[in-house]
Amino acid sequence: MSAWLRRGTAATYAATLGVLLLGAPAAAAAPSAPAPTGAAAARKAAAPPASVDARLFLYNEHGQAAVAPGDTVTFVMSTAGYPENVPQHKTVVLELPEGVTFRSATNQHASGPCVPDAAGRKVTCTTQDPVDQLPATNGAWWVTTDFSDELPLGEYVTAKATLTTEIPDPEQDNNVSSWDVFVATTGDMSVAISAPPGPWKVGDKFDATFKVHNFGPYRAPFSLSSGINPVSGLRYSGWPEGCGFDPGEMQCTFGVLEAGKTFEFTMRFEVTEYDADGISLTPTIYPGNQDTNAANDKASYRAKIIKPSASPSPSPTGGQAGGEPTLPITGAPAVPLAAAGLSLLAAGAGALLLARRRRTS
């Protein structure tokens, strides 16, 4: 047994020495890491372009919504570029207006960290390594901010963001983006619509006037939508700038309406076909300020459409056997003609009898 152990020990020593002496071949024999595949392999293989036209977009996470003093707003900074999907380091600097300060930046999908300055009004966001993997490739950051109680009511405040990139950018103008936020309060707006009462026939045209009034006490932006029916039986024109259309609906976004002022516009409508449900125009407004009287945020106009009368069908004309057409009867009616014929026949018979009597006398 001891001899077997000695031989085994010697063999192990020899094998170990061989591995040490032949390190290079042994390393080559070791299993290698899997090669990158798909998009990662393509990015690794391709050389970076000489330039990338990068673009920056800054916006409020809740869109055009107004913000009351003391509320929070999350600003989103999103990047894109051409050529697309080129990994590189990016830096975005967000500058906040007076009265707005950094609160947090904890979104797990952000491309990297965002760090505020001492005053909390300048936030620097960067791309974390590796830049060719998530979340860096998202190209986006989220920064939540606090709006001070002292912000001016009925006014806009503006945030600004600037992008710098690792790869040269031939177009710098689209590397800067800004977003306006309206500082809202309470107020009252109303909407009304006026048009002739109808009813209308197919082919008729009429004008309808939409009016929005701001009772104050502050100015405010607003948007408007209106149902327009029937969808296929009403043609319209004359809408103002800022309006777009979906089937059966008009959607408009307008600027600020000062307190005490009225905004109005008139549209031309044409009835193109009959609809049993008639005409329905139903505008609704969405004020930027918190509205204290929602009852006057909607209005409606309704009118009937006159149903076209049925067209008389033409009388069929008769025909003789064999399909030959008959000539139309013209002149006097048939009954008087028949009576006149009988009278002539009777008169002729009387004259004949009188002539016979004269011969025999």
CATH number at residue 171: 2.60.40.1510
User: Where are any strands of DSSP class E within the chain?
Assistant: 53-60, 72-82, 90-95, 100-104, 114-116, 122-126, 140-147, 156-165, 176-182, 186-194, 205-216, 220-229, 234-237, 243-246, 249-257, 262-271, 279-287, 290-291, 301-303
Alpha-carbon gap, residue 326 to 332, rounded angstroms: 18
Residue 97 in contact with residue 158, Cβ under 8 Å? yes
DSSP β-bridge partners for residue 178: 160
Which of 140, 160, 182 represents a domain boundary (last residue)?
Answer: 182
Alpha-carbon gap, residue 264 to 256, rounded angstroms: 13
Q: Is residue 327 part of a domain?
A: no
Q: Is residue 311 part of a domain?
A: no
Residue 224 DSSP class: E
Which of 278, 303, 328 represents a domain boundary (last residue)?
Answer: 303
Pairing, β 114-116 against β 122-126? antiparallel
Length of the chain: 361
State the chain's maximal CA–CA distance in angstroms: 187
Alpha-carbon gap, residue 249 to 247, rounded angstroms: 6
Alpha-carbon gap, residue 193 to 208, rounded angstroms: 7
Residues 156 and 232 in one domain: no
Q: Which residues of 34-60 are buried (b: 16+ CB within 10 A; e: fewer)?
A: eeeeeeeeebeeeeeeebbbbbbebbb
Residues 263 and 285 in one domain: yes
Q: Is residue 81 part of a domain?
A: yes
Number of domains forming the structure of the chain: 2
Alpha-carbon gap, residue 299 to 288, rounded angstroms: 18
Residues 249 and 140 in one domain: no
Q: How many CA atoms are closer than 13 Å to the CA of 188, on its beta-carbon side?
A: 7
Per-residue confidence (pLDDT) for residue 312, from 0 to 100: 58
Residues 170 and 289 in one domain: no
Residues 154 and 211 in one domain: no
Residues 142 and 250 in one domain: no
Residues 212 and 298 in one domain: yes
Residues ≥6 apart with Cβ < 8 Å to 11: none
Q: 3-class SS at 7?
A: helix
Q: 3-class SS at 352?
A: helix
Residue 92 in contact with residue 125, Cβ under 8 Å? yes
Per-residue confidence (pLDDT) for residue 80, from 0 to 100: 94
Which of 283, 303, 323 represents a domain boundary (last residue)?
Answer: 303
- Each residue's pLDDT expressed in tens, for the chain with a length of 361 residues: 333 333 344 444 344 433 333 343 333 344 444 555 555 555 555 688 999 999 999 999 998 888 999 999 999 999 999 999 899 999 999 999 999 999 999 999 999 999 999 999 999 999 999 999 999 999 999 999 999 999 999 899 999 999 999 999 999 999 999 999 999 988 999 999 999 999 999 999 999 999 999 999 999 999 999 999 999 999 999 999 999 999 999 999 998 999 999 999 999 999 999 999 999 999 999 998 889 999 999 999 999 999 998 765 555 554 443 333 333 434 444 444 444 444 544 444 444 444 444 444 4
Q: Please report where in the chains the tokens 């936020």 appear, as a residue.
A: 181
Alpha-carbon gap, residue 181 to 38, rounded angstroms: 42
Residues 173 and 126 in one domain: yes
Residues 203 and 282 in one domain: yes
Residues 163 and 270 in one domain: no
Domain of 228, in residue numbers: 186-303
Per-residue confidence (pLDDT) for residue 3, from 0 to 100: 37
Residues 115 and 166 in one domain: yes
Residue 133 in contact with residue 100, Cβ under 8 Å? no
Residues ≥6 apart with Cβ < 8 Å to 230: 273, 275, 277, 278, 279, 280
Cis-peptide, bond into residue 69, ω within 30° of zero:
no
